Amino acid sequence: MTVTQFSKSFGQPSWARWDSEFPAQTYRFRDRGRFFGDAMRSGERFHCAFSQYTAGLWVPPVYYEACLSVEGALAGEKVAEIQSEVPVQGFGLAGQVDVAGTLESGRPVVAELKTTLGEYALKPKPAEVIQLGTYATMFRHEDPLLLWLRVSLKSRCISLFKMDQSEPLLTKISGCLSCDRSAA
């Protein structure tokens, strides 16, 4: 089962609802062309571009400014040693973490990139909160900084949502991963 499928299987639990409607920070980036295709395809293309960007490879010009702004948002949070599209397995689940890194202090960071062609970058949905918490649990991190970066390709805006105290979420997810889901 993928981490995304696992995360969506919970529905809308209250323990995974994001409290604030507003991001911790917002960033703007310049227009470098039009994004074509549907939201899913644009999101896949952006993820690929950001992975290439973090590897020091060529990035399609239409995505360059957005990649630069995501890097700036992560730097603003003092995230260093960034890796993108990191495969992770465990607990019978598999997935790819969009961004993994550490703070200058050594504290681990796990971040999710979500793209939209809509006007607004909405707060994380419960399934997204569970998804990122599951990734952090699979890494066996203790109290990592969790970040969601909503990249609105249409409005050229990145909204950064931050969970500084992740331990309660990870404890809940650890309990869910430990139980025998096949018996349910």
Asked whether the whole model's pTM tops 0.85, one would answer: yes
What tens digit of pLDDT does each residue of 45-82 get? 999 999 999 999 999 988 999 999 999 999 999 998 89
Domain range for 160: 3-7+24-175
Q: What is the CATH number of the domain that holds 106?
A: 3.90.320
15 belongs to a structural domain: no
38 belongs to a structural domain: yes
What tens digit of pLDDT does each residue of 21-38 get? 889 999 988 876 666 667
96 belongs to a structural domain: yes
183 belongs to a structural domain: no
Strand ranges inside the chain, DSSP E: 25-28, 79-90, 93-103, 108-116, 145-152, 157-163
181 belongs to a structural domain: no
Residue 8: count of CB within 10 angstroms of its CB:
15
Domain count of the fold of the chain = 1
Here the tokens at position 78 are: 């003092």
132 belongs to a structural domain: yes
What tens digit of pLDDT does each residue of 154-169 get? 888 899 999 999 999 9
16 belongs to a structural domain: no
